[in-house]
């Protein structure tokens, strides 16, 4: 199992609430994820605040634009010193290659660069509405192959695809899986879900977990309980 597989998704509209949770957490137990809501509200200062507390950070801004724009955005993420960042695989091969090239000057200080395949909130029926008439797993496989070809470090997918992707692309190709729901917890807007232990058994390297922790009456207890199920 990957060292520290849990990535806590900090989806808060209030910085103090987020910092209050962070201050109860141990950087030895988890890494943190900041996404579009918090980065739009609080900007790079939040990244600095989190780094100053000793946590590694996944900056989840899912860039999707022309190659030049995405390359510059990814380099800006690298300047912030984040541990991982992501782009959309549907931006295409040239976009992903440009993003990868933009990180070359950062050497071993470059963040891990990950491509989102099919969002975990999407079902096969929703894909059909986009004109994609294959099961989600097949589309994920296609986009993951393109991601591998572009030389990225791995993909965001659902844990339901982890076994397939690990078998196909090998141990070094990292699988980051949101849509993680401990037994009995509310799915919310997620469709392709798995429990933490099922996800790790299936081959996920990192588990992105938000509401099951952040919306729990006692978030620290919820994180510890999840940790115990995978220890
Ligand atoms: O890139 C992501 O992190 C991501 C990709 C994806 O396909 N699905 C997905 O839910 N996410 C993120 O993972 C987190 C999941 O949060 P919860 O559903 O609250 O556990 C959110 O911050 C999403 O933005």
150 with 93: CB under 8 angstroms? yes
Mean of the per-residue pLDDT values for the chain? 97
The CATH number of whichever domain residue 185 belongs to comes to: 3.20.20.70
Q: Which domain holds residue 218?
A: 6-230
The complex's ipTM works out to 0.99
Is 153 an active-site residue?
A: no
pLDDT, position 67? 99
Mean pLDDT of 159-177: 98
pTM over 0.95: yes
Mean pLDDT of 25-36: 96
Q: Is residue 216 lining ligand 1, measured as CB closer than 6 Å?
A: no
pLDDT digits (tens, 9 = 90+) for 53-68: 999 999 999 999 999 9
Is 65 an active-site residue?
A: yes
Residue 193 lies in a domain: yes
Which tokens belong to 187? 């799915």
pLDDT digits (tens, 9 = 90+) for 2-16: 789 999 999 999 999
pLDDT at 24 over 90: yes
Tell me which residue has its CA closest to atom 12 in ligand 1.
Answer: 178
How far, CA to CA in Å, does 59 sit from each of 13, 39, 86, 209? 16, 9, 7, 14
Residue 1 lies in a domain: no
Question: pLDDT over 70 for what percent of the chain?
Answer: 100
Q: Is residue 11 lining ligand 1, measured as CB closer than 6 Å?
A: yes
Q: How many domains does the chain have?
A: 1
């Amino acid at each position: 199992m990957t060292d520290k597989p849990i990535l806590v998704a900090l989806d808060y509209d209030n910085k103090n609430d987020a910092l209050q949770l962070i201050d109860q957490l141990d950087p030895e137990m988890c890494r943190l994820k900041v996404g579009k809501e918090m980065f739009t509200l609080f900007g790079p200062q939040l990244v600095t605040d989190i780094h100053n507390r000793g946590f590694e950070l996944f900056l989840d801004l899912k860039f999707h634009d022309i190659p030049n724009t995405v390359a510059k955005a990814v380099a800006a993420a690298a300047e912030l010193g984040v541990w991982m960042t992501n782009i959309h695989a549907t931006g295409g091969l040239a976009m992903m290659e440009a993003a990868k090239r933009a990180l070359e000057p950062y050497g071993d200080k470059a963040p891990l660069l990950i491509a989102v395949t099919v969002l975990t909130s999407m079902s096969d029926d929703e894909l059909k509405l986009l004109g994609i008439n294959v099961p989600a797993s097949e589309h994920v496989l296609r986009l993951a192959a393109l991601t591998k070809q572009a030389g990225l470090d791995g993909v965001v997918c659902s844990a339901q695809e982890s076994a397939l992707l690990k078998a196909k692309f090998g141990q070094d190709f990292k699988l980051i899986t949101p849509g993680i729901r401990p037994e009995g917890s509310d799915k919310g807007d997620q469709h392709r879900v798995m429990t933490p232990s099922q996800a790790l058994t299936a081959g996920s390297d990192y588990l992105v977990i938000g509401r099951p922790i952040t919306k729990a009456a006692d978030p620290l207890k919820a994180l510890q309980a999840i940790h115990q199920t995978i220890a």
